[in-house]
Amino acid sequence: MTDAQIREILQDTRVIAIVGLSAKPERPSFHVAEFLQRRGYRIVPVNPGLAGQTLFGERVYPDLAAIPEDAHVDMVDIFRASETVPAIVTEALAHLPELRTIWTQLGVISPEGAATARAAGKRVVMDRCPKIEYPRLIG
């Protein structure tokens, strides 16, 4: 992805489902969610171990399939091991009708997941962090 493409994603995204969001403030996923929410994004937490609880003022869902359609998720940010990405992408494609972008965090790389998402017409940002890219590209 070019810087211009990533900037466009960050500017036109509104609702981000964060798969693997932790309730522990020392975890990177917690800091990223906090940063993104402060920038105006709605965060939809996904973590089976915290399902039904509240994080960042939002209900935590066990998986992407449980997120209500009216949540209007347009990006999925993945904080999970690389080998889990293909299944997460498949689930996202099946249950999030407004999905436009799959984003994987630093160190999370899945050519198979990326190919599946791109074949479905979705944008893919892999091995990057929106908390780093946002200030770099938007300010």
DSSP 80-116: S-GGGHHHHHHHHHHH-TT--EEEE-TT---HHHHHH
pLDDT higher than threshold 90 for residue 23? yes
- The predicted-structure confidence for 60-90, as pLDDT tens digits, reads as follows 999 999 999 999 999 999 999 999 999 999 9
pTM of the model: 0.97
- The predicted-structure confidence for 109-122, as pLDDT tens digits, reads as follows 999 999 999 999 99
**Token digits of residue 62:** 């066990």
pLDDT higher than threshold 90 for residue 139? no
Residue 138: Cβ within 10 Å count: 11
Q: 77 phi and psi, to 5 degrees?
A: -105, 125
Q: How confident is the model at residue 100 (pLDDT cuts 50, 70, 90)?
A: very high
Percentages of the chain per state (helix, strand, coil), in multiples of 5: 45, 20, 35
- The predicted-structure confidence for 33-46, as pLDDT tens digits, reads as follows 999 999 999 999 99
Separation in Å, CA 130 to CA 31, 47, 65, 76, 104:
11, 19, 23, 12, 9
| Inter-helix orientation angle 28-38/130-137, to 10° | 40
Q: What is the CATH number of domain 3-137?
A: 3.40.50.720
